Amino acid sequence: MHLRSYCKLLFLSFLISLNSFAQPSNQEIRSEFDQRVNAGVNAVTLFNSDMSVSAGNYKFDDTESDAKFDLFKLPYQHKFEALDNGMKPELNLLVANSKITSSPEMQPSAIGINDFSVVETNSFQAGVGLAIPILDRLSIIPRGSATYSHLKRSYDFNNSFSQTNLQPYDRDAYNTSIDIMTYTPSLELRYETNEENSGNYAVYTRYSQLYNHSFATKSRFADVDSDSGLLQSGLEYNQKLANKVLDREVYFKPYFVQTNLYGEAREALDVSYFHELGFSFNMMEKNPEFILSQYNIGLSYTYGEEFDGIKFELGFKL
């Protein structure tokens, strides 16, 4: 997936500008670092903690630091049987790992080679939801989740400029770590048909608010207390195919999703919206002999402001 001109702000928000090291005060450095790390953390936790943002490999073009972002997520969702009042509880779990690597170009007068930076984040999320029927086929789904993330930054000072000007801030801005809790309430309005012998479609809109708070860090400067918003609207269609595969029913599912960003993540990414258009094939087994009841494979195209790419999807449901 290729992200172009806005990439310099994404995740490079963790970098304090080299030009800012003209001997400012510690308070000025702390203020600038706080602002950048709050924006960067919101961008990272948006990708790591929300199930709606896709995993993938991201190559950053047009950046001086040759940045690359790799993201892996393993989600699990279990929908319980409907209660007597028709409400359906759900359980959501997620494990995620992201790694941002970059090699900032050294100053022309420096002696040595480019520095090398790695920002790695491991996240664990648990959440619950409750689908509440309002009208026929229409439901409202409030959800809540808590995500723990450990963000660690490793940095190699490989040239004379960084050794003189940046290394004094080692353990504060470089070679440091932050522990973050992200609390995410969300609300979804969903209209979905459920016909036995024909195709079904769903229309939904969902708003999520991510609140990030740091509670432990090796840095004297980092103090994360910020938030981001995520508004998504989507259309799905599900059509049962005539032929079976491996004696399992197969469904074809095209979909479209628009995503709008707000708050610190929007500032860090310099992107206000993007779209995803894709399809998947889902194999269903009503009475599975194994623990897995659904398998899916799909492909989608994502595009928006200075943002485009292709995602391959392979998943399962318990």
Closest CA to 156 of 175, 169, 179, 172: 175
For residues 92 and 49, the answer to whether their CB atoms sit within 8 Å is no
At position 254, the amino acid (one-letter code) is P
pLDDT number for residue 228: 87
pLDDT number for residue 22: 43
Whole-prediction pTM: 0.79
For residues 276 and 236, the answer to whether their CB atoms sit within 8 Å is no
Bridge partners of residue 258, in order along the sequence: 233, 275
* Minimum mean pLDDT range among 62-71, 124-133, 210-219: 62-71
Rounded distance between C-alpha atoms, residue 270 and residue 6, angstroms: 6
* Minimum mean pLDDT range among 62-66, 144-148, 152-156, 193-197: 62-66
More confident of the two residues 225 and 235: 235
Three-state secondary structure of the chain: CEECHHHHCCCHHHCCCHHHCCCCCHHHHHHHHHHHHHHHHHHHHHHHHCCCCCCEEEEECCCCCCCEEEEEEEEEEEECCCCCCCCEEEEEEEEEEEEEEECCCCCCCCCECCCEEEEEEEEEEEEEEEEEEEECCEEEEEEEEEEEEEEEEEEECCEHHHHHHCHHHECCCECEEEEEEEEEEEEEEEEECCCCCCCEEEEEEEEEEEEEEEEEECCCCCCCEEEEEEEEEEEEEEEECCCCECCEEEEEEEEEEEEEEEEHHHHHHCCCEEEEEEEEEEEECCCCCCCCCEEEEEEEEEEECCEEEEEEEEEEEC
Q: Residue 20: pLDDT band by 50, 70, 90 thresholds?
A: very low
Ranges 141-145, 193-197, 251-255, most confident = 141-145
Rounded distance between C-alpha atoms, residue 278 and residue 1, angstroms: 15
* Minimum mean pLDDT range among 36-40, 70-74, 131-135, 160-164: 36-40
**For 60-101, what is each residue's pLDDT tens digit?**
444 455 667 777 777 777 888 899 888 999 998 888 888 888
Range 189-202 average pLDDT: 87
Closest CA to 116 of 58, 159, 152, 170: 159
Rounded distance between C-alpha atoms, residue 318 and residue 316, angstroms: 7
Closest CA to 240 of 176, 181, 284, 188: 284
Closest CA to 178 of 147, 224, 225: 224
pLDDT number for residue 8: 38
Q: Are strands 56-60 and 2-3 parallel, antiparallel or unpaired?
A: parallel
108 φ, ψ to 5°?
A: -55, -30
Please, what is the Cα angle at 15 between 13 and 20, to 5 degrees? Answer: 110
pLDDT number for residue 247: 73
Rounded distance between C-alpha atoms, residue 55 and residue 297, angstroms: 14
Percent of the chain clearing pLDDT 70 (strictly above): 71
Q: What separation in angstroms does the CA of 154 have from each of 15, 25, 146, 157?
A: 12, 24, 26, 10
Q: Residue 290: pLDDT band by 50, 70, 90 thresholds?
A: low
CA atoms within 13 A on the CB side of 273: 8
